[in-house]
A and B are shown apart, each in its own frame.
Chain A
């Protein structure tokens, strides 16, 4: 505990000239057309009641969302927690801008298609025998949304803005990254509940 506090309080070491910085736009602009295309295709699939496409969006989006959450929360997160502040800064400058585009897109893709699939397959009707499992999935998603949007994403953005400063505050970055690591771990564990629910519904 004392060790981690000292580590957090350590000033940022002298930065080399090639110190990585997040892009000036924060969000990688080259990724926006891809996000736009995914969202447009999803709207078309919903409008056309295109079951195969809805299934594709839900399975692919859900698989990636769950996989990335588990991997970041349970593998990458603990590794980041043990890195030096300098290494965390270098990792964050490259990793977090991409996460800002990838995760909201995957979440929107998965939830919108999942809702439409559930409607088509009559899972939303309260008479459906496993309706309780469907409601349980809403609750899990709701808890994850609160953690992701209320804690994880704000910490992510704040770190990126801090990294743009001429002299980033290492103590603040350490504090925010610790929040990122913990919340990513919690959403990773919550994804295990998603896997249980989804396999129950599909069986």
Chain B
């Protein structure tokens, strides 16, 4: 027999404790911003990539950890999450694409371009994650609508 987790009422939806998805995603964003400032402060000169790669690696680990934490939440407004995440992802792909375009137009090549592109990729996933989770956490979980 399948055991269903009880659905929270509207007050409990607001008060319930969820994994620190937003906190981890904001920490990821801070790392990407620091890495971006570090790179931008040295471009177009030669850039030592080690600090930027280290920041990027930690940020990537945090995003993956956040996605794992998110996937473990059973009772959640997944439909709303997907809608907000999808549209926000589209918007941030456009914004990240414009930034990438500016770097390519400016002649950024090789290692710096790869690191900046990967930073933009993490950024383009991380921001929609923050937005979608912040909205969906206060919405009625999916099963409760049936």
How far does the alpha carbon of A167 sit from the alpha carbon of B26 in the complex, in Å?
30
User: B-side interface residues toward A, CB under 8 Å?
Assistant: 10-11, 14, 22, 25-26, 29-30, 33-34, 36-37, 40-45, 80, 84, 87, 91, 94-95, 98-99, 101-102, 105-106, 127, 130-131, 134-135, 137-139
Nearest chain B CB to A112 CB, angstrom units: 6
- On whether the beta carbons of A47 and B105 are closer than 8 Å, the reply is yes
Residues of B within 8 A of A42 (CB): 98
CB–CB A138/B41 < 8 A: yes
Chain A residues near B10 (CB-CB < 8 A): 167, 169
Asked if A20 is at the interface (CB within 8 A of a chain B CB), the reply is no
Known contacts A104-B91, A126-B42, A138-B41; decide if A154 and B135 are in contact (CB<8 Å): yes
Chain A stretch 141-196: residues in CB contact (< 8 A) with chain B: 142, 145-146, 149-151, 153-155, 157-158, 161-162, 167, 169, 171-172
The reply to whether A116 and B102 form a contact with Cβ atoms under 8 Å apart is yes
Given A149-B127, A157-B131, A171-B14, are A39 and B98 neighbors across the interface (CB < 8 Å)?
yes
**What is the interface of chain A, defined by CB distance below 8 A to chain B?**
27, 39, 42-43, 46-47, 104, 108, 112, 115-116, 119, 124-126, 134-135, 138-139, 142, 145-146, 149-151, 153-155, 157-158, 161-162, 167, 169, 171-172
Question: What are the residues of chain B within 8 A of A139 when measuring CB–CB?
Answer: 37
A108 touches B40 (CB 8 A): no
Q: How far is the CA of A125 from the CA of B42 in the complex (A)?
A: 8
Given contacts A112-B99, A172-B14, 5 further A-B contacts (CB under 8 A): A39-B98, A46-B105, A112-B102, A155-B134, A169-B14
- In the complex formed, the residue of A with least CB distance to B37 is A138
CB of B137, distance to nearest CB on chain A (Å): 8
Contacting residue for A146 out of B30, B41, B84, CB 8 A: B30
Contact with B36, one of A116, A125, A142, A154 (Cβ below 8 angstroms): A142
- Which of chain A's residues have a CB closer than 8 A to the CB of B94? 39
Beta-carbon contact of B26 and A162 below 8 Å: no
- B51 to A: closest C-beta gap in Å: 15
Least CB distance, B66 to chain A, in whole angstroms: 13
The answer to whether A43 touches B95 (Cβ under 8 A) is: no
